[in-house]
Chain A
């Protein structure tokens, strides 16, 4: 019985996390001695999955599945799992996938563990390591139900190339009106900007920046680095920046390769939300700011002097390193 993986698309192309979850599924399949079957919805580059250990693709093409609809997508995946006899289903941690996962879990009578950060600890019993207590701890969680559904954290396992011969075939699930009782009316998405969920680098500003008018240098630093911009809770509560940029325990989680905190003191709730980032840099004029204890690199200094210099040095670096 193959391991089933849902590889997400955006406008016909795979999202970055698609290759991460495919790689994860390949690892689980190796442990179990099985193969990997991926499900794609309205995707135009299915063969790419062969680079990440997928040997079969169930390709779903259906205009009704554009834009995303959680109930309908969950139904597609449930039917794919049924058709393949899959007992292990691998998902990502995107907002869309976290929306459909509990619906799919209920349809398949499965056990669902999200926020998984590593390959299974063991497959018999089936135990995975996940974050808990908003990144202040980890849990080793056993999935005891027959169907096991795993949500892999962003940027935790990584994309691992594994060239496999892949067979792409059409899959036409049966969908009815009952699958579309929630309707998307309007999508409001900033175009051409990297999202916090997908970003390798996140540049984040706090109250130390004194006001929304000072965000120009944060935006510029983010642009130089190809980074997403984020902010602390007080900044979003004050309305300096949109809620969608708030990162921390009650905001968005961050799991980037590099997180740069500027003028953020590092309240325990903020640190919990960003601690999954691999390298953390803090720039703050207060040497006692708690963030210095949680960071890898730090500069004690005035952000208004340090950040422009950093932008300049990074531009020089870019020129030298192409």
Chain B
């Protein structure tokens, strides 16, 4: 089985978000970039397929040279090879179109993406990719087993979960649950050293006109101070929720 894990290079979850150039760009100043958490759960599941079922695991990202530390981290975790499509990821369709090209050229059986990136939250790349390539697709995937060309996936639904039976080639939009938080791996020194020797192929993008364009960003309006209620005046809280906030 040949697996491609699609990785988005995103601001660390603890990042403070600011905008620059007249609020038209995300301000990367002082921001630490990481593997998108939803993708990292998928990458870790791919490592399981590599170790238990002999799968070959490649990672791909769409981004400029600044994304290479994140790609090297994925290689240090254990991916065998990496592909970087050398282009700024302008919108979800553009990214999916680039990855479709990578999949066509690489002949992958299973493509693991994340439910959404934690920066632009589009949540569309795996689904568009699957549809462009006419592959099966399972979103919000929290469990995946592969037996030959058959796949069983667990999908999170509103208020529960659903077991789905399908077949390869398959694209999933993964998230926590594919593996547990405690299964995530921190690259060790040997992994980091080996990652330096692994192939990181840089490829040119294909043409894919923009369909959506973020013109301007804004931050949430600043919040007023919290209204504190004394612990022995719980009735006061009920009153505020009813008469002021009007939520009960």
Contact = CB atoms under 8 A, between A and B. Distances in A.
A101 B223 CA distance: 33
Interface in A186-206: 186-190, 193, 195-198, 200-201
A131 B176 CA distance: 22
A317 B211 contact: no
Contact of B127 (A103, A296, A302): A103
Contacts of B120: 132-133, 139
Given A95-B158, A189-B157, A257-B247, A144 B212 contact: yes
Nearest to B240: A297
Nearest to A237: B181
A268 B14 contact: yes
Contacts of B248: 201, 225, 258, 314, 317
B215 interface: yes
Contact of A136 (B127, B164, B220, B238): B220
B108 interface: no
Contacts of B156: 95, 243-244
A185 B163 contact: yes
Interface in A68-97: 70-71, 94-96
Interface in A262-306: 268-269, 272, 275, 278-279, 281-282, 292-302, 305-306
Contacts of A301: 231
B93 interface: yes
B167 interface: yes
A264 B128 CA distance: 37
Interface string A108-131: 001111110000000000010001
A186 B163 CA distance: 5
A278 B142 contact: no
A102 B162 contact: no
A293 B227 CA distance: 10
Q: Looking at B93, B210, B226, which has the most chain A CB atoms within 10 Å of its CB?
A: B226
Give the contact-size bracket for chain A: 35 or more
Given A114-B124, A139-B217, A243 B142 contact: yes
B58 to A, nearest CB: 22
A174 interface: no
A301 B231 CA distance: 5
Give the contact-size bracket for chain B: 35 or more
Interface stretch (A25-33, A48-56, A246-254): A246-254
A132 B118 CA distance: 8
A296 B220 contact: no
B17 A133 contact: yes
A306 B177 CA distance: 33
Interface in A129-153: 131-145
Contacts of B14: 268-269
A64 interface: no
A56 B11 CA distance: 44
B228 interface: yes
10 contacts: A95-B158, A105-B124, A111-B91, A142-B212, A181-B136, A182-B136, A187-B162, A243-B177, A244-B156, A313-B237
Interface of B: 11, 13-14, 16-17, 19, 26, 37-38, 91-93, 96, 118-128, 130-132, 136-140, 142, 152, 155-167, 175-177, 180-182, 210-220, 223-224, 226-231, 234-235, 237-238, 240-242, 245, 247-248
Given A145-B212, A188-B161, 19 more contacts: A95-B140, A101-B124, A101-B127, A137-B219, A139-B216, A141-B214, A142-B212, A183-B166, A190-B160, A197-B158, A201-B247, A237-B181, A237-B182, A246-B176, A250-B38, A257-B247, A269-B14, A296-B226, A299-B234
